[in-house]
Amino acid sequence: MSGCSTLLEDASAFQEGWRTAVVTEVAPARELRGSGRTDCRQTASSQQLAASRFARLSYRSGGSKHSHVVVVADGLRVTAGDVVFTNVMRCGTPLEVRSRPMADLIKTGSSREPDQLPTPKL
């Protein structure tokens, strides 16, 4: 029975906007190309648009590729190729870096785990 509740919890989390996705681009608001299925630049303040970095996230669901634009918290190191977890429907939800490309780890010479945030309780 616990397997079913986990499946139901996962489906509920997905419906609420929680996604694991790949970062495809990180840039200031004006430099980020195109838009996404959701785009946090549309609801950002003028101060956020001027000062914040934004990331385009991509994932596949139901055979289709989806894209979302989210704000990147100040001080968070995130680059194209990182796998992140966040809520794409709630602008301002922090990104949790789940993994980084191996080339990034070699370049920095770091073997430490990526920056971690607590996993949200659903």
pLDDT, tens digit, 9 for 90 and up, residues 89-100: 899 899 999 998
Residue 113 lies in a domain: no
Residue 55 lies in a domain: yes
Q: How confident is the model at residue 68 (pLDDT cuts 50, 70, 90)?
A: very high
Helices (H), the chain: 2-15, 46-51, 102-108
| pTM of model > 0.75 | no
Residue 88 lies in a domain: yes
| pLDDT for residue 119 | 53
Neighbouring C-beta atoms of residue 28, cutoff 10 Å: 12
Residue 116 lies in a domain: no
- How many domains would you assign to the chain? 1
Residue 1 lies in a domain: no
- 10 Å CB burial of residue 69 (0-12, 13-18, 19+) is buried
Q: Which domain holds residue 55?
A: 10-108
**Contact criterion met (CB below 8 Å) for 57 and 44:** no
Quick check: helix, strand or coil at residue 121? coil
Mean local confidence (pLDDT), 9-24:
85
Residue 30 lies in a domain: yes
| pLDDT for residue 117 | 47
Residue 101 lies in a domain: yes
pLDDT in tens, 21-46: 999 999 999 999 888 899 999 999 99
Residue 120 lies in a domain: no
